[in-house]
Structure 1
Amino acid sequence: MRKKIFFYVAFFLFSEVLSADIYKYVSPDGKVYYTDRPAHRFYKRIIRTRPSSYNWAVGRMKGNKQKYNDIIAQAASKHQVDEKLVHAVIQAESAYHAQAISSAGAVGLMQLMPETAKRYGVRDRTDPVQNINGGTRYLKDLLKMFNSNLTLAVAAYNAGEGAVKKYNNSIPPYPETRNYVKQVLALYHK
């Protein structure tokens, strides 16, 4: 079952024992879809569930957002990054689920790859405090690297700073990255 999502995630799992991996697809027009049954290969797994382990429901994201507000505020202040930007990245990356795992191996609220986590001293990528601090420091460095250009920093967060530099400091021509930038900026400006 697919459901169009603009600014919140609706997961449809109807019982305590029902579970499934959750996949995300961003269409060329920027619309985001979540499902437990991907219709094509462009869906990316964002949450890997274990039997009887998770029961995601509508409204869960809001509760999780509240749960992490203080950690996000502290990290944003400490690293001098706009708190709204950190929220936008977390919502786009993991929908506020600390145990989210992508098919590429990114983990946690800010979906840190192993190399990025190591670079920023994150030992446990599922630990919200470590993950948010590491991801926020990475955002700060990207903003500095790209002269406070929010669009390029967000593109680099998704595709890597090397990809942005490779394309002469512009958004790489990857549909996923272009849609990701639109999604994060829409959430940021909301």
Structure 2
Amino acid sequence: MFRPSKIRRSLAFLSFLFPGVASTDVYKYVDSAGHVFYTDNPRHSGYQRIIKTPAAFLFYSPSKKWPSGSGFSEKNRRQFASLIDAAASKYSLDPALLHAVIRAESSYNPEAVSNKGAVGLMQLMPETAARYGVRDRYDPGENIEGGAKYLSELIGMFQSDVRLAVAAYNAGENNVIKYGNKVPPFQETQQYVARVLNYYNRFN
């Protein structure tokens, strides 16, 4: 028979191994014969909540991010504002632009993971992280630092054309160059550029 103490130890171990999991409640019910039942979905009022436990992994993709346009996103925006401002100053970026890219990329979720393997606030791919010396893509400071440096280089490469720099951040600089220094004709990139510029205008 499982005991609450054993469950708690098991769950604590899982939480340590997988810190990015969602939480739910666990309920206990003892019937008239003394049988003990545990569930996260109680079906009658006889169940009593005993613990909170990790229930399911949350993997993030561009279509599944922390809620945008809500207090939750705004809370995280404020939380990382000092890091964003510092990186913007270091790499001569408009802080509003860096905020706009982060909002579009991850909605300020430092644990965001896309289905292509991009990670963190600025959604860095492994090769981009390596290129800019980012060792831990989940670390907000390192992630913002690497993404800001990359964005700054793109702005320089495209002669301060923010629209092209943002397009290159999404599709890669080679694709922007390939299409004659224009936003590539990819629906995802065109929508991304429009979204970032919209946020940029709002943050300014």
Superposition TM-score tier, normalisation by shorter sequence: 0.7 to 0.9
Contact 2:76 2:108 in 1 (8 A): yes
Are residues 140 and 23 of structure 1, via their aligned partners in 2, closer, same or farther at CA, if it must alter by over 3 Å?
A: closer
Letter in 1 for 2:75: G
Q: 1:79 aligns with which of 81, 91, 94?
A: 91
Deviation at 1:16, TM superposition (A): 3.7
What is the correspondence of 1:120-135 to structure 2 with a 5 Å cutoff? 120-135=132-147
**Partners in 2 of 1:92 and 1:56 — Cα distance?**
9
Letter in 2 for 1:108: G
> Which residue does 2:160 correspond to in 1?
148
Please, which runs of 5 or more residues in structure 1 have no aligned partner? 1-14, 25-43, 48-54
> Which residue does 1:64 correspond to in 2?
76
Query: 2:180 aligned with 1:171, yes or no?
Result: no
Percent identity between the two aligned chains = 49
Q: State the TM-score, normalizing by the size of structure 2.
A: 0.68
Are residues 186 and 78 of structure 1, via their aligned partners in 2, closer, same or farther at CA, if it must alter by over 3 Å?
A: same
String of CA shifts for 1:27-64, please: whole Å, max 9, x gaps.
Answer: xxxxxxxxxxxxxxxxx5557xxxxxxx9994211111
Higher RCO structure (Cα 8 Å, ≥6 apart): 1
Contact 2:112 2:123 in 1 (8 A): yes
> Which residue does 1:36 correspond to in 2?
none
Please, which runs of 5 or more residues in structure 2 have no aligned partner? 1-21, 25-54
Cα RMSD of the aligned pairs, angstroms, is 2.3
Deviation at 1:182, TM superposition (A): 0.3
Q: 1:157 aligns with which of 169, 191, 194?
A: 169
Alignment length (residue pairs): 150
Are residues 146 and 179 of structure 1, via their aligned partners in 2, closer, same or farther at CA, if it must alter by over 3 Å?
A: same
What is the correspondence of 1:104-143 to structure 2 with a 5 Å cutoff? 104-143=116-155
Contact 1:46 1:102 in 2 (8 A): no
Q: State the TM-score, normalizing by the size of structure 1.
A: 0.73
Name the larger-Rg structure. Answer: 2
String of CA shifts for 1:138-185, please: whole Å, max 9, x gaps.
Answer: 010000000000000000000000110110110000000000000000
**Partners in 2 of 1:69 and 1:142 — Cα distance?**
22
Letter in 1 for 2:134: V
**Partners in 2 of 1:22 and 1:142 — Cα distance?**
26
